[in-house]
């Protein structure tokens, strides 16, 4: 399944998430604070994990915000206001570093140091159910 086939109307949560990820590539390369565009390895990993998670979750896949840090890593953030909780996927700029997942519910938080598609899906489903 390709991304084009899996994306429904432009307002679907997966389409919004993919557009936000792609928009990172359209940023200026750098600014006074550092790198704005993601590294190719961070972008490929983020896209792969998002598309694979969507293929498993379908329309229950929640929309994420996307940003980069000053080194070109990508941060995808899924959050809810009620109850206040969040899941963050960090795809490092350096292909030799491991991606990790941060999750928070109120004052409780933890980090998953080895991210796979099933782990991402598990935490996104948790976010949908809280």
- Mutual angle of helices 40-57 and 117-129, in 10-degree steps: 60
Summarize the chain as % helix, strand, coil (round to 5): 40, 25, 35
Say yes or no to pLDDT of 115 above 90: yes
Give the per-residue pLDDT at 36: 76
**Mean pLDDT of the region 12-19:** 96
Say if residue 8's pLDDT is above 60: no
Which residues is 73 bridged to in the sheet? Answer: none
Query: Residues 34-49: what's their mean pLDDT?
Result: 92
Domain interval for residue 64:
3-129
Predicted pLDDT of residue 11: 62
Q: Please, where are the H alpha helices in 59-129?
A: 117-129
Angle subtended by helix axes 40-57 and 13-25, to nearest 10: 170
Q: Return all residues near 7 (Cβ < 8 A) that are at least 6 apart.
A: 14, 15, 18
- Evaluate if residue 2 carries a pLDDT over 90: no
Report how many domains make up the chain.
1
pTM: 0.86
Percentage with pLDDT > 70 across the chain: 92
With a cut of 80, say whether residue 34 has pLDDT above it: no
CA 84 to chain centre: 18
Q: pLDDT tens, 50-104?
A: 999 999 999 999 999 999 998 999 999 999 988 899 999 999 999 999 999 999 9
Classified as helix, coil or strand, 78 is strand
- Local structure of residue 106 (DSSP, 8 states): T
């Amino acid at each position: 399944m390709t991304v084009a086939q899996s994306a429904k109307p432009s307002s679907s949560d997966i389409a919004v998430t993919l557009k936000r990820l792609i928009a990172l590539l359209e940023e200026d390369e750098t600014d006074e604070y550092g790198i704005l565009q993601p590294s190719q390895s961070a972008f490929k990993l983020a896209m792969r994990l998002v598309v694979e998670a969507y293929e498993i979750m379908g329309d229950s896949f929640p929309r994420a915000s996307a940003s980069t840090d000053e080194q070109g890593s990508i941060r995808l953030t899924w959050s809810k206001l009620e109850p206040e909780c969040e899941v963050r996927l960090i795809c490092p700029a350096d292909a030799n570093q491991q991606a990790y997942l941060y999750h928070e519910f109120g004052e409780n938080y933890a980090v998953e140091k080895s991210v796979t598609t099933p782990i991402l899906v598990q935490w996104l489903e948790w976010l949908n159910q809280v």
